[in-house]
Structure 1
Amino acid sequence: MSAAVESQRALNGRVNGHGAEAARANGHHDPRPWHQQFLPSQLRLDDKLRTQKVEARLADLVLSGDVLRRVGDVFEQELERGLQEKPSSLQMENTYVPELPDGTEEGVFLALDLGGTNFRVLLLELKAGQLVRQNVKQYHISNALRLGTGDELFNYLADCVQDFLQQLGMEDQEFSLGFTFSFPMKQHSISSGELITWTKSFKCSGLEGVDVAALLERCLRARRLRVTVRVLLNDTTGTLVAGAHMHRSVGIAVILGTGSNGCYMERASRVRHWEAAHESVRDVCVDVEWGAFGDNGCLDFLKSEFDREVDAGSLLATSFTFEKYIGGKYLGSLLTSALSALARDGLFPAEPTPDALQTAHLSLFEEENCAGEVTRTVAALREVCPGASITAQDALVAQHVAHVISNRAAQLVSVCISTLLRRMERPHVGVAVDGSVFKHHPRIASLMKKYIALLAPQNSFELLGAEDGSGKGSALTAAIAARLAAQYKR
């Protein structure tokens, strides 16, 4: 084993092994100035000149604490502008969800989860707030339906709900339904909203200005199903509700997967957009839609040449700016762009084959980097750089690039979370997090814990893995809506 690999293994054990929190647990503190504690671990190669050149080439991906403070200031300004309905890259959408689970939810509820080429219908039964029954069935949406008319799509959704209930022998019963519609929308109440734009692989016509919850309910009633759409929400709001069902402290939810978004409980008095009575509402869930943060140019000071290259090659150039820094859909492309630039400068053996490197490779490189290993990294690089001679030193370079990109992603999502924590002013806030990057990246969670603590040192928080907000969360929200409706009738 080379001296560089040995050195990297030692460094991983000292710096990369869960970062500052591991040191604090052992009674040690990071002696570096605050702004330097955000820096990624250094690259260690046998060739010091190559090391310096690689790190210089990646310098624009390395953010200090001072830069992150600036990002936080811009985020807060955009957040305030969005809440006041002024021009902003943050939608700050009022979801009209006024409460989270309180443990008294009762009944049987349906959920419909639409967000991709497959969607699910769920039935959940709650007793004293506890889940005692769950039935789930998945259905496929064809290309023709995704690109056809909105009426065709929603009639198909209603057909699937009917099929689901018939299989359970419950088609004659009455239900409240929570509809998870994971596309940008303008909400008018907890149970109504209009599509703003299709994303992913959907482009159905005829839905401009149409209330998607009302359309679904009409299609259900046309089949003589006694189903009322009580709630319309996206997967981020569902994650907040599902997280709060498990942990009462939860007040923020984050999706960190293929894309990224966040929502939180805001004081109702700070939210300007209301289309329903809210005199008795103290707090309300606000959907930030931070994937588009920076679309108006407010984050251009962050953009590296690699970000510009990834953006130019994306399906929606100049859109979803923030998501392209942190979303799993783009991290593999950033890795490819950076390694290609190093290859053109003679600092890496070859440019990777376009689209060959995925976010799973970035996680693999980070996993080996944490362990001080290179074997699987070398094998993966030989696959994506066919014909190139890949050494252990080259593997360390690729691991370092993956680490720098991962570190920046953790920093940026931590800026948003820390801003929300400070804003909420609660003694302790649970942050429910779902998504493939959070689940499968070997150290994104530990980096986030470290950076949130540095950015919001006065705020107590806990990152909590959340499951199935888009399914269970929507049914739970329907249960909350039903409970509140019953209270208002008294």
Structure 2
Amino acid sequence: MPFNVIQILEDDLISPIIKKVAYGLATTCILGGAVYAGYRVATPAQQQTRHYRQPELNDQIETVLDSLKITDDQLIQIMHLLEDEMNAGLSSSTHDQAVVKMFPTYVKNIPTGTEVGQILALDLGGTNFRVLLVDLRGNSRIELTSKIFLIPQSIMMGDGKQLFRHLSECLHEFMLKELILNTGVCYPIGFTFSFPCSQEGLASARLTSWTKGFSCSGVVNEDVVKLFQNAIDEKGINAKCVALINDTVGTLMACAYKDPATAIGLILGTGTNACYIEQLDKVGTWKGDYDEPKQVIINTEWGAFGDNHRLDFIRTRYDEEVDLSSTNPGRQTFEKMISGLYMGEIVRLIILDLLQHELLFLGHRDTYGDYKTPLYNRGGFYTKFVSTVETDEGIKFSNTRRVLEDIGIQNPTFDDCAIVQHICRQVSKRAAKLAAAGLSVLINRIGRPNITVGVDGSLYRYHPRFKTNMERCMDMLVNKSIQFKIALSDDGSGKGAAMVACLAEGTSWKKPATHHEETVN
């Protein structure tokens, strides 16, 4: 049989076999594809995009977050810039143009823990007015009683004289209850007045502007202490306002009563600011006496650092957007990269950016278009959410899921939670590094071998990693010859104000026969 015939016959025999095999393979592929599709539909969403399980390895996400990262060299540069701005604020020739104002507080003496006496402390910084009777017992022991009074809206927006009459009436009520009214003892008052003031003496300060919802007439550019003392005298109250301070000074003083090595007061809360002890020969704006001790606490007002654009090299487009939408655009640049008032908003803007680039909430982008949800509204992601998210450990993300649901993201996946936590950690870590750079400048400037920093504020108190991140960075930036310690200050606006008042005239104050006491250790 010719070869070509044999070949044809063989082909005829083989073709059905090949066709059967081909049909079998095709059927298998179709069934396999159907099974895989069913598996994909049935598999929980958190197991489908496995390449996002480690978001720090995702190049696109990291490209967005890289702008938040500050190198060690940049931290050193920031420290040099801050030192320059501080020197400008302390110099009489450049103070007026300086952005970091470095105001002398006229507080020269620091408590030693041996002070004894009873002091009244007042705290006005919002809708609450707090009155305290602070009993200094020596050996760093304090006992106190306090009461909080509400400030009605009508008082906050009314006449200035009416405001101070209201405060004096609250003081009168408190002293009457504590049996210290008309006792023949004139009680010194330390007043924490948390509004912008130009300090002209320990008991003299002019209000530069109202904030926090106050708009009382006849107070701006007036001496706050004088207005308050007039109201006290009109009411016949046996008390005298001998010191007016801000919250940073109170924080330092309250901590120093227990630890005399305290030389810095730091606020890390809704806002941020710091004060520290400076030698008088470095304070060109000093107008007080040069008696011992030749030192004074300086209120840095470092929140304004960068208002002259010297920090633009580390600012991101998110910082710029936060600034433009704030009530004070172009001001408080340093504060807006650190404090609790803005941290949550920075996180929200980054989340929206990733969502728009389809790097977050994959496959559900259309679902999250409800512009009534907090995610799409300024301020909708609270800074407390940042702390809550960062408390999550492991892979359950129970806190993060709850936060995302609160801002309108229903059924977030594992990867959504991991990415949001990564964002929060990068934003808070940057804030901690910037705070560390500022603190390191102050510590190195003071130069003592042992320095304690008194800290207060909700960001420092409640964020789970801020303290650790800040101290780790400071270990690198502080001179190796200096040992520093960070201590949480206890009620600086109350106890600290009392310390300043006690030291104002270098006198121990007589204690009346009886009063109700609440012991604070």
Superposition TM-score tier, normalisation by shorter sequence: 0.7 to 0.9
Contact 1:418–1:455 under 8 Å retained in 2:
yes
- Structure 2 length normalisation: TM-score? 0.82
Structure 1 counterpart of 2:388, from 331, 349, 364: 364
Residue of structure 1 equivalent to 2:116: 106
Structure 1 counterpart of 2:85, from 60, 78, 88: 78
Q: How does 1:413-428 map to 2 (within 5 A)?
A: 413-428=435-450
Q: How does 1:98-137 map to 2 (within 5 A)?
A: 98-128=108-138, 130-137=140-147
**Alignment-mate amino acid for residue 364 of structure 1:** T
Residue of structure 2 equivalent to 1:41: none
Q: How does 1:96-245 map to 2 (within 5 A)?
A: 96-128=106-138, 130-173=140-183, 174-245=186-257
2:417 aligned with 1:407: no
Residue of structure 2 equivalent to 1:439: 461
Tell me how far apart the structure 1 counterparts of residues 56 and 489 of structure 2 sit (CA, whole Å): 45
CA offset digits 1:375-413 (Å, max 9, x no partner): 2212321331345x5211111110010000000000001
CA offset digits 1:387-441 (Å, max 9, x no partner): 5x52111111100100000000000011110000100010010011101010100
User: Shift of residue 198 of structure 1?
Assistant: 2.0
**Alignment-mate amino acid for residue 408 of structure 1:** R
User: Shift of residue 302 of structure 1?
Assistant: 1.9
Tell me how far apart the structure 2 counterparts of residues 284 and 186 of structure 1 sit (CA, whole Å): 16
2:405 aligned with 1:382: yes
Tell me how far apart the structure 2 counterparts of residues 362 and 178 of structure 1 sit (CA, whole Å): 35
User: Shift of residue 47 of structure 1?
Assistant: 7.5
User: Shift of residue 471 of structure 1?
Assistant: 0.5
Structure 2 counterpart of 1:283, from 270, 295, 300: 295
Residue of structure 2 equivalent to 1:27: none
CA offset digits 1:255-288 (Å, max 9, x no partner): 1011111000111111122332223332110011
Contact 1:106–1:129 under 8 Å retained in 2:
no
Contact 2:117–2:508 under 8 Å retained in 1:
no
**Alignment-mate amino acid for residue 138 of structure 1:** I
CA offset digits 1:332-385 (Å, max 9, x no partner): 1111011011111111125723232111110111111x5554222123213313
Structure 2 counterpart of 1:45, from 34, 48, 52: 52
Q: Secondary structure at the match of 2:219?
A: coil
User: Shift of residue 201 of structure 1?
Assistant: 2.0
Contact 1:107–1:127 under 8 Å retained in 2:
yes
Stretches of structure 2 that go unaligned for 5 or more consecutive residues are: 1-42, 369-374, 510-521
Tell me how far apart the structure 2 counterparts of residues 316 and 412 of structure 1 sit (CA, whole Å): 21
Contact 1:101–1:129 under 8 Å retained in 2:
no
User: Structure 1 pair 348/179, CA: closer, same or farther in 2 (3 Å)?
Assistant: same
Q: How does 1:59-78 map to 2 (within 5 A)?
A: 59-78=66-85
Contact 2:280–2:286 under 8 Å retained in 1:
no
2:496 aligned with 1:467: no
Count of residue pairs the alignment pairs up? 446
User: Shift of residue 130 of structure 1?
Assistant: 3.9
Contact 2:253–2:492 under 8 Å retained in 1:
yes
Q: Secondary structure at the match of 2:58?
A: helix
User: Shift of residue 131 of structure 1?
Assistant: 3.7
CA offset digits 1:85-129 (Å, max 9, x no partner): 412111101011111102331211101101111120001112335
Contact 1:124–1:131 under 8 Å retained in 2:
no
Structure 2 counterpart of 1:303, from 298, 315, 323: 315
User: Shift of residue 191 of structure 1?
Assistant: 1.2
Tell me how far apart the structure 1 counterparts of residues 487 and 211 of structure 2 sit (CA, whole Å): 28
Contact 1:295–1:319 under 8 Å retained in 2:
yes
Tell me how far apart the structure 1 counterparts of residues 335 and 54 of structure 2 sit (CA, whole Å): 35
Tell me how far apart the structure 2 counterparts of residues 178 and 284 of structure 1 sit (CA, whole Å): 17
**Alignment-mate amino acid for residue 464 of structure 1:** A
Tell me how far apart the structure 2 counterparts of residues 111 and 133 of structure 1 sit (CA, whole Å): 13
Q: Secondary structure at the match of 2:333?
A: coil
2:78 aligned with 1:55: no
User: Shift of residue 485 of structure 1?
Assistant: 9.9
User: Structure 1 pair 372/421, CA: closer, same or farther in 2 (3 Å)?
Assistant: farther
**Alignment-mate amino acid for residue 56 of structure 1:** T
- Could you say what the CA RMSD is over the residues aligned between the two structures, in angstroms? 2.2
User: Structure 1 pair 333/49, CA: closer, same or farther in 2 (3 Å)?
Assistant: closer
User: Structure 1 pair 445/176, CA: closer, same or farther in 2 (3 Å)?
Assistant: same
Contact 1:240–1:251 under 8 Å retained in 2:
yes
Residue of structure 1 equivalent to 2:100: 90
Q: Secondary structure at the match of 1:483?
A: coil
Tell me how far apart the structure 2 counterparts of residues 48 and 403 of structure 1 sit (CA, whole Å): 12
Tell me how far apart the structure 2 counterparts of residues 320 and 62 of structure 1 sit (CA, whole Å): 20
CA offset digits 1:136-178 (Å, max 9, x no partner): 0101112222222222211111111111111112211310000
Tell me how far apart the structure 2 counterparts of residues 254 and 300 of structure 1 sit (CA, whole Å): 24
Tell me how far apart the structure 2 counterparts of residues 242 and 379 of structure 1 sit (CA, whole Å): 37
CA offset digits 1:234-272 (Å, max 9, x no partner): 011000000101212111110101111100011111112
Q: Secondary structure at the match of 1:322?
A: helix
Tell me how far apart the structure 1 counterparts of residues 227 and 119 of structure 2 sit (CA, whole Å): 19
CA offset digits 1:55-78 (Å, max 9, x no partner): 101111111111111111111111
**Alignment-mate amino acid for residue 80 of structure 2:** D
Tell me how far apart the structure 1 counterparts of residues 56 and 468 of structure 2 sit (CA, whole Å): 31
Contact 1:50–1:347 under 8 Å retained in 2:
no
Contact 2:116–2:508 under 8 Å retained in 1:
no
Q: Secondary structure at the match of 1:396?
A: helix
Contact 2:265–2:455 under 8 Å retained in 1:
yes
Tell me how far apart the structure 2 counterparts of residues 122 and 99 of structure 1 sit (CA, whole Å): 22
